[in-house]
Each structure stands twice: as C-alpha cells, then as structure tokens.
Copies of this chain bind each other. A is one copy, B any other.
C-alpha cells in the first residue's frame, strides 16, 4: 500500500538541520523532518541539580519539551497550572536519558546542560526529531565550552539519534507521520548511537501484540533511517565534533 505522502516504506521524510537557529543559546538548531519542526537549544548552567550533588557526581544533562499551541492542527492548550502532562514528562525523560548515554558527565564539572525542545510544527515523530536535533545543540554548546577553556575536552563519547518505526496495516514503515502514527498497530522508537548500539528501545503494541520476527525487522528498518540521520548531524556539526 502506498504511504500517505507517497514515500517508500523505508524512506525518511525530507530532513534538514539548521544549526545556530537561536542565537541567544549556547547551542541550537532547527530540525525539520517533513512537516515536523522542532527548535532545540542547549543552555549551560553553572550548577548541578541537588540530587546530583548529593550523589557526589559531576556534570548533568537534562531536557524539557514543549509544543507551541498551534504546532498542531487543532490548538493544544499551553501546559501550566497542572504541570506537564504525562506525555510531556515521558518525552522529556526520554530525551535526557538518550543524550546522557553519550556524555562523559564528569568532563562537564559543576555544570548542567539543559536542553529545550520546542515544537513549532507537529506531524508525528516529534520526540525522535527532538533527540536527533538536541544532539546537535548539545555538541555545539560543548564545543563552545571547550573553546572558552571552561572544560578540558569534548565530553561526547559518540553521537545519538532516534527514529520511529511502526506497523500500519501489515506494512512495516520508517519515520511515521501523524496520520500513520495515529493508525499504527505497533509503534516503536529506537534511539541508537553511531556505533550501532541501542540506547533505548520503546516498542508498544497499540492494538496488536507483535512477535520477535517483527521486532527484528522493525529494528533493521530503524537502522536504515538512523544511518542517514547520523550523516546529517555530522554535516551540521562540521568543525564542531
């Protein structure tokens, strides 16, 4: 069955990473994957969260995620008085964990890097785009710290990117857009390093539990997309990494 937007089943949406999009931030980019557009910024703060101090550890990376009200087709109310929604909490925890997996924290010393991912336009896959873009913002901020002599070397142990795969009808598809995500039987987000190792696999059977063969085919499909995303990150970070 042809895809909603004419793509092949193993094809990413047109993707573009614009580094330095938010000039006030220490690191930033705009990542566009089809109609999904996310602003990622990295802010350096010269302090650690209390729990990190308690553990006697140095360095921290954490993330926040938000959506502009009209990033969606029907207006999404701002989060507020009741705190971030369950979905938002899950996403920001995932972004933070994914980035920390490639950061040698102690190199950052008494510093936290706070990532903000703000969705300008949402068409499925915002959490994966946010991870992929955040790595670019993070790397830019780290380079700035090195250049200023604030830290002694780049704290990155590798690159990290993420992509969604899923099952719609009986088709296994790469990089689901909203329409596909909405109707899929299985939804999986794969976060991987550029060495091909998994940082996080979150597979959910929205309707139909899946077997191991399907799992393996979906992981293969994800890898196809992830390798292209690493290339784009490298291009965006030329002279930085």
Contacts and interface: CB of A to CB of B under 8 A. Distances in A.
A86 B81 contact: no
Given A83-B82, A198-B210, A41 B69 contact: yes
Contacts of A215: 198, 201
Contact of A81 (B72, B83, B92, B207): B83
How big is chain A's contact interface, by range?
Answer: 35 or more
Nearest to A97: B204
18 contacts: A22-B120, A41-B70, A43-B70, A43-B75, A45-B75, A69-B116, A69-B118, A80-B80, A81-B81, A86-B89, A101-B205, A101-B207, A192-B209, A196-B211, A197-B205, A198-B211, A198-B215, A200-B203
Interface of A: 22-25, 28, 39, 41, 43, 45, 64, 66, 68-73, 75, 78-84, 86, 89-90, 92-93, 97, 101, 114, 116, 118, 120-121, 192-193, 195-205, 207, 209-212, 215-216, 219
